[in-house]
Amino acid sequence: MNTCDALSISKETTLEALKKLFGFDTFRPHQEELVHGLLSGKDAFGVMPTGGGKSLCYQLPAAILPGTAVIVSPLIALMKDQVDSARSNGIKAAFLNSTLAPEEAQEIEASYVSGDLDLLYLAPERLSLSTTVDLLKKNAAGRPSFIAIDEAHCISEWGHDFRPDYLFTSRLKEIFPESPLAAFTATATELVAEDIENRLNLVSPVKIRASFDRKNLFYEVVSKRDASTQIVEFISQRPQQSGIIYRTSRKSVEETANMLVANGINAAPYHAGLPAEKRSTTQDAFIRDDITVMVATVAFGMGVDKADVRFVIHADLPKNIESYYQETGRAGRDGEPSHCLLLYSAGDLGKLRFFIDGMHEEEEKVRARQLLASMDAFASVPSCRKISLLNYFNESCETTNCGSCDYCAGSFESVDASRDAQIALSAIMRTNNRFGAIHICDIICGANTAKIRQFEHDKLKTYGVGKDKPKTHWRSVIDSLLAAKKLDLSQDKFPVPQMNDAGMEIMFGREKFQLAVDKRVVPEKAKHRAEEIECDTDFFHYLRDMRKEIADLEGVPPYVVFADRSLRAMAAYHPASNTDLLTIPGVGQNKLEKYGERFLVEIRDYLINHPELKALKPSGKKQAAPAIKKGLTETFRTTQEMLGKSMSPSDIASERGIGVSTVEGHISRLISEGETVNWQEFISAETDKLCRELFAEHGRQALKPTIEAANGKLTYGQAKIIAAVMDLE
Ligand code: ADP
Ligand code: ZN
């Protein structure tokens, strides 16, 4: 390839390829600059938040450019999913890592040499072998078309995820001077970004630092009262949505998971105390939608590339904003509206402080305390959550109302709290600025603690004057005064509130003080700014079930087949032809060929059974979604009737022109709804026995292990039916 060829690739060509391969009409912010950079032979450096769409930035140029691009990626476990996902878009991708048999590896090496691949994923330790470097020189161009380093922050010792293996990548410029080098990361700190650029020796790269504002994420913080009830209420408003709940301890992870299961929610625990195999099957089941809610410690998440996580709940206060932001970032990578809920309690703060006090290194302690203080301020001070997050990452925000956090959605009300502020300030002054907020609240509420007796604070004028209000109220008055700089924090080892001049103004009644009061009794259902396609929910779930079947058959995660957004668009616009399907976001040529017909048949079938559903116009005004119906719909009844005539699932399938697995899906649902079905007529006693034995061994939460162990003697549909029967036994 020469650079002139590359330069001549027009914007139209790239847009066409974007549509054909990925089914997208437009680029996400900054993707285009990075893609064009690589296409014109330049180095590139993209810092984009999780879900920003980094993979497309190298996959698209890899598909357009002649030869093969090499992608360095740290997680072997993820490579297969990445390759599956690229292949499902018609991109010729493969990986080389230690999980391959020697013959498989040889075959892939041969395809690289002959130029049959667009993309080759490599783990860094593989890349550093001299045999690999030699291999990469053996194709027609004598080098990769370009090299992209994913998760590039792993090269930096400043980062939170340094990997010595990555250091080798700093030699790539010297080994392959002709191959453009690209680096991608979601790290937010400037220090790490600079370090990456220097270590890789990037030559005047096209540099992009995308905004860390994830518009589709709604941030909400509510005070933690009864975490279990709050979690169950939150989840029951979102049936069948995938989500992650983070808890601090293994014990609370187990307890919450058990509690959810007892409430009929398909949840499972994940923490470092579980055997590695159990962790990997649970993670797999979550990615494949066999488990809906993952309850986990922070051990879970790195390398979980699930695009349709709809919510992340932090049921305990995180240690710092960096980890909190990264964990919430796992929601909504597909760009669809998603919710991040934090349950805040000052009690958690105490626990974390206690933990920090136990650290050995003094410097580490100081740093940990500062990080925790920022986290606490974020959670406890009512103000726009997005603005405080973005400011934390040194990014300014154009608006004062983000529209996608609880504060901006109007969860707080501003009330005059001048008198309460005076009480708090006076208690601080009368105790000579020497005590922490907790003790000050104790004084105001008239508590009888040893410390109060010791310092005779029960003799103060302010002692007990605020008994009529809870301590949490007084705490938030002090926090708000601090946030509004009407109080300072001392610089000691244990910082305490200090009176300042601005506070004096309030104290002497020359200025008023407003307090934001939380109006929510129960968490409000969020109003999202990012637009979600409105569609009939039953229809959407029907398409999701079908997607799940296809995904299971192909052994890929469901979102690799189609994203939620594509299914919503189908359920809303009712495509009836290939041309219609191509207008659906996320449907490119390859997916059309692969799944188009199946989806068109099912959509038609569903609509015949639901004549009341009307297609919405893609660009038209939003219409109200049809009312959600409960119970069994027509299509189930048709299957039931046919079963009544002793027809087998395959007869019914061919008669109705739908898949056998769809019919089996109907049957398992009929059984769960308590309908009588003579399933023994089409499932033999032998199959039933085998299935139950395998369930006993592998559990019933995920069907995949059972199906695999059955070695072709059991289908997903049959296993689903038997599981439904067993549920009722
Ligand atoms: P990252 O690696 O930055 O976390 P991904 O590459 O996994 O992000 O992309 C996140 C999601 O965004 C994927 O579901 C992907 O299909 C989707 N996506 C990427 N680019 C676009 C685009 N131009 N239009 C619509 N969706 C996109
Ligand atoms: Zn806001």
Average pLDDT over residues 713-726: 87
> Residue 432 — left, alpha, or beta (φ > 0 → left; ψ -120 to 50 → alpha)?
left
Q: How confident is the model at residue 355 (pLDDT cuts 50, 70, 90)?
A: confident
C-alpha 306/C-alpha 317 separation (Å) is 24
E-strand stretches of 461-580: 487-489, 497-499, 514-518
Q: Does residue 156 carry a pLDDT above 90?
A: no
**pLDDT: is 336 or 364 the higher one?**
336
**Mutation choice for ligand 1 from 16, 21, 22, 310, CB with most ligand atoms inside 8 A:** 22
C-alpha 265/C-alpha 263 separation (Å) is 6
Q: Does residue 310 carry a pLDDT above 90?
A: yes
**pLDDT: is 651 or 137 the higher one?**
137
Atom of ligand 1 nearest to the CA of 563: 14
Alpha carbon of 28 to ligand 1 centroid (Å): 8
Q: What are phi and psi of 498, to 5 degrees?
A: -130, 140
pLDDT at 632: 61
The closest alpha carbon to 525, from 295, 309, 341, belongs to 341
Q: How confident is the model at residue 189 (pLDDT cuts 50, 70, 90)?
A: confident
Q: Which residue owns the Cα nearest ligand 1 atom 19? A: 53
Q: How confident is the model at residue 449 (pLDDT cuts 50, 70, 90)?
A: confident
**What ligand is nearest to the CA atom of residue 212?**
1
Alpha carbon of 514 to ligand 2 centroid (Å): 19
| Long-range own/partner contacts, residues 415-418 (CB < 8 A, 24 or more apart) | 415/514, 415/515, 415/517, 416/512, 416/513, 416/514, 416/515, 417/477, 417/480, 417/513, 417/514, 417/515, 418/506, 418/509, 418/512, 418/513
Q: Which residue owns the Cα nearest ligand 1 atom 23? A: 27
pLDDT at 657: 78
**What ligand is nearest to the CA atom of residue 403?**
2
Alpha carbon of 220 to ligand 2 centroid (Å): 9
C-alpha 636/C-alpha 617 separation (Å) is 28
- What is the DSSP secondary structure assignment for residue 237, as one 8-state letter? T
Alpha carbon of 334 to ligand 1 centroid (Å): 6
**What ligand is nearest to the CA atom of residue 402?**
2
pLDDT at 626: 31
- In tens, the pLDDT along 275-302 reads 989 998 999 999 999 999 999 998 887 6
pLDDT at 197: 93
The closest alpha carbon to 220, from 477, 411, 480, 373, belongs to 411
Q: How confident is the model at residue 698 (pLDDT cuts 50, 70, 90)?
A: confident
Q: What are phi and psi of 407, to 5 degrees?
A: -65, -50
Say if residues 560 and 551 touch (Cβ distance below 8 Å): yes
Which residues are registered as beta bridge partners of 268? Answer: 294
**Mutation choice for ligand 1 from 31, 33, 48, 55, CB with most ligand atoms inside 8 A:** 55
The two tokens of residue 3 are: 């650079």
Q: Can you tell me whether residue 19 is helix, strand or coil?
A: helix
243-246: strand order across its sheet? 217-223, 338-344, 311-314, 243-246, 293-296, 267-270
Q: Does residue 527 carry a pLDDT above 70?
A: no
Pocket of ligand 1 (CB under 6 A): 24, 27-28, 31, 48, 50-56, 307, 333-335, 563
Q: How confident is the model at residue 159 (pLDDT cuts 50, 70, 90)?
A: low
Neighbours of ion ligand 2 (CB under 5 A): 384, 386, 402, 405, 408
Say if residues 382 and 518 touch (Cβ distance below 8 Å): yes
Largest CA distance in the chain: 89
**Mutation choice for ligand 1 from 48, 56, 60, CB with most ligand atoms inside 8 A:** 56
Average pLDDT over residues 234-238: 91
Indicate the residue type of 30.
H
Alpha carbon of 273 to ligand 1 centroid (Å): 33
Q: Can you tell me whether residue 94 is helix, strand or coil?
A: strand
C-alpha 383/C-alpha 228 separation (Å) is 26
Q: 280-289 burial by CB neighbour count: b if 16+ within 10 A, else e?
A: ebbbbbbbbb
- In tens, the pLDDT along 96-106 reads 988 899 999 99
Lowest mean pLDDT of 269-278, 339-348, 518-527, 706-715, name the range. Answer: 518-527
Q: Can you tell me whether residue 540 is helix, strand or coil?
A: helix
Alpha carbon of 318 to ligand 2 centroid (Å): 20
pLDDT at 8: 65
Alpha carbon of 93 to ligand 2 centroid (Å): 41
- In this prediction, what percent of the chain has a pLDDT beyond 90? 50
Q: What are phi and psi of 233, to 5 degrees?
A: -60, -45
Say if residues 235 and 354 touch (Cβ distance below 8 Å): no
Q: Does residue 625 carry a pLDDT above 60?
A: no
- In tens, the pLDDT along 57-103 reads 999 999 999 999 999 998 887 788 889 999 999 999 999 988 899 99
Alpha carbon of 132 to ligand 2 centroid (Å): 49
Atom of ligand 1 nearest to the CA of 50: 4
Atom of ligand 1 nearest to the CA of 48: 3
Q: Which residue owns the Cα nearest ligand 1 atom 18? A: 53
Q: Which residue owns the Cα nearest ligand 1 atom 5? A: 53
Alpha carbon of 56 to ligand 1 centroid (Å): 7
- In tens, the pLDDT along 460-484 reads 999 999 999 888 889 889 988 988 8
pLDDT at 303: 65
Alpha carbon of 29 to ligand 1 centroid (Å): 11
Atom of ligand 1 nearest to the CA of 27: 23
Atom of ligand 1 nearest to the CA of 150: 2
Q: Which residue owns the Cα nearest ligand 1 atom 11? A: 334
Look over the chain and give the mean of its residue pLDDT values, rounded to a whole number.
87
pLDDT at 2: 39
pLDDT at 160: 63
Alpha carbon of 288 to ligand 1 centroid (Å): 18
Say if residues 208 and 48 touch (Cβ distance below 8 Å): yes
Q: Does residue 526 carry a pLDDT above 70?
A: no
C-alpha 83/C-alpha 117 separation (Å) is 12
Atom of ligand 1 nearest to the CA of 559: 14
The two tokens of residue 117 are: 């691949």
Lowest mean pLDDT of 616-630, 638-652, 688-702, name the range. Answer: 616-630
**Mutation choice for ligand 1 from 333, 531, 559, 561, CB with most ligand atoms inside 8 A:** 333
C-alpha 58/C-alpha 31 separation (Å) is 9
- What is the DSSP secondary structure assignment for residue 405, as one 8-state letter? B
**What ligand is nearest to the CA atom of residue 308?**
1
Q: Which residue has the tokens 């090299």?
A: 147
**What ligand is nearest to the CA atom of residue 404?**
2
Alpha carbon of 407 to ligand 2 centroid (Å): 6
- In tens, the pLDDT along 9-32 reads 788 899 999 999 999 999 988 999
Atom of ligand 1 nearest to the CA of 55: 6
pLDDT at 624: 35
Q: How confident is the model at residue 623 (pLDDT cuts 50, 70, 90)?
A: very low
Its pTM surpasses 0.75: no
Q: 122-153 burial by CB neighbour count: b if 16+ within 10 A, else e?
A: bbbbbbbeeebeebbeebebebbbbbbbbbbb
Q: How confident is the model at residue 393 (pLDDT cuts 50, 70, 90)?
A: confident
Q: Which residue owns the Cα nearest ligand 1 atom 16? A: 334
Which residues are registered as beta bridge partners of 489? Answer: 497
Atom of ligand 1 nearest to the CA of 22: 16
- In tens, the pLDDT along 529-588 reads 456 788 888 899 999 999 999 988 888 888 888 988 899 999 999 999 998 999 898 888
**What ligand is nearest to the CA atom of residue 213?**
2
Q: How confident is the model at residue 111 (pLDDT cuts 50, 70, 90)?
A: very high
CB atoms within 10 A of CB 622: 10
Alpha carbon of 219 to ligand 2 centroid (Å): 8
- In this prediction, what percent of the chain has a pLDDT beyond 70? 94
Helices (H), 574-659: 578-582, 589-609, 634-644, 649-656
pLDDT at 188: 63
